[in-house]
Amino acid sequence: MIKIETGAELAPKTFKINRQLLIEYANASGDQNPIHQDETFAKSVGLPDVIAHGMLTMALAGKYLSDISGSQNVLEFSAKFIKPVVVPAGADVSLIISGKVTDVVEGIAKIELLAMCDEVKVLGMAKGAIKI
């Protein structure tokens, strides 16, 4: 296991997002906005297709943090939703999360996360603080 020290690069992980996962996230989170499930509706409001919940992308990035420290040790987590994750019917979209340790002070590590989909950055300023 990699040592959590300033400058350490954390290995990327790939998360699969598909229409079924969007339905499951909608049911688990209570966010039933049709832009995340209904292609006709999504296109009617100017979107290219159904898009993933920004909060699903963030939840998966949160899982990346939990995999480092355990969920109980995630203290802070923030991100901007800069690009939508488009999820076409029948497709598995790959979300690739990687991280870098930017600071370690008194047992708390700051992690900068990179979330990429089709070589496009989908989260901006994604940062977590974890107890190590």
The residue ranges that bind other proteins (CB under 8 A) are 15, 21, 24-25, 27-31, 54-56, 58-60, 62-63, 65-66, 70-72, 74-81, 124-125, 128
- Taking the least distance from each CB to other proteins, the nearer of 21 and 117 is 21
CB of 10 to other proteins, least distance (A): 16
Distance (Å, whole) CA 59 – CA 30: 14
- Taking the least distance from each CB to other proteins, the nearer of 7 and 42 is 42
Helical (H) or strand (E) element with 67: helix 54-69
CB of 5 to other proteins, least distance (A): 22
Do 15 and 66 meet the contact criterion of CB atoms below 8 Å apart? no
Do 60 and 97 meet the contact criterion of CB atoms below 8 Å apart? yes
CB of 15 to other proteins, least distance (A): 8
Distance (Å, whole) CA 55 – CA 38: 18
